[in-house]
Amino acid sequence: MMRTLIVDDEPLARERLRTLLQQETDVEVIGEAGDGKQAVTAIAEHAPDLVFLDIQMPVLDGFGVLQAITDRPLPAVVFVTAYDQYALQAFEVHALDYLLKPFTARRFQKALQRARAELKRENGDDSPVERRLLNLLDDLGGERRYTRRIVVKSSGRIHFVKVDEIDWVEAEGNYVRLHIGASSHLLRETMKGMEAALDPDRFIRIHRSTIVNTERIKELQPLFHGEYAVLLYDGTRLVASRGPENRLRKMLDAAMVK
């Protein structure tokens, strides 16, 4: 069964999609969301296989939803949009499929069939669907759009963590720990995945197990063999391995110039 989530801020649009999906014997509609924030929560809670995602929504649009998701792999996404022709060209290159409002039942069937075929080919985190979604965000944004909020599940609750609030990130087995002031959150993600999701103009991986927000750095202190102690404003002391040290110094120098 394809576990499917419907995301649209228009009740009538959600109803139409639900009616069409309920006619499919291999589809289970696991929920609906009326805005971007609800969508991020629903995706984190239910891990759908497929999402019909409206692009134009208030507060947090469809692209913002994708940026806020850090759990991997990403679900397959069929965009529901009224975007102009320029954006549709990007969809045709990178997206699984899109439905241009208003769409016919025949066009819906074509998109669903394409989703079925793609999901059968899925095989892990570095999937064609995920690569296309990231490339789409690059094309439509004119530049890479990095994660602004991270969804963390803890004790049955969903927390929205603003990336700007993160002091540093620590590897912890198959997870990463986000350090935010006196608190921390455990997230099922790899360091490589976190590094790719965070803006490199602000976050730098100073060690194989540590990523730091450069705006939290108070000073660097030389250690042995080219390593440096990295002191944060809250008193945290981290160690930067020799590789990232030069880049870290350049970033700090650039920040001082500004």
Quickly count: other Cβ atoms within 10 Å of residue 99's Cβ: 20
Contact criterion met (CB below 8 Å) for 206 and 244 = yes
Here the tokens at position 239 are 């160690």
Residue ranges, comma separated, of all CATH 3.40.50.2300 domains in the chain are: 2-141
**Which residues pair with residue 183 across a beta bridge?**
180
Dist CA 152 CA 194 (whole Å): 13
Contact criterion met (CB below 8 Å) for 51 and 5 = yes
**Which residues pair with residue 203 across a beta bridge?**
213
Largest CA distance in the chain: 67
The correct answer on CATH 2.40.50.1020 for the domain covering 161-257 is yes
Residue ranges, comma separated, of all CATH 2.40.50.1020 domains in the chain are: 161-257
Q: Please give the chain's pLDDT, 258 residues, in tens.
A: 999 999 999 999 999 999 999 999 999 999 999 999 899 999 988 999 999 998 888 778 887 888 787 666 778 889 887 765 545 555 665 567 888 888 899 999 999 998 898 888 765 444 566 666 666 666 655 444 577 778 777 777 777 788 999 999 999 988 899 999 999 999 878 888 788 778 888 899 999 899 999 999 998 888 877 678 899 999 999 988 876 656 666 655 555 544
Look at residues 15, 84, 31, 95 and name the one whose alpha carbon lies nearest to residue 56: 84
* CATH dotted code for 2-141: 3.40.50.2300
Look at residues 161, 156, 241 and name the one whose alpha carbon lies nearest to residue 205: 241
Contact criterion met (CB below 8 Å) for 26 and 34 = no
The whole-model pTM stands at 0.57
Dist CA 161 CA 149 (whole Å): 5
Here the tokens at position 101 are 């409002």
Which residues neighbour 211 within 8 Å (Cβ) at sequence distance 6 or greater? 168, 169, 191, 194, 195, 198, 203, 204, 205
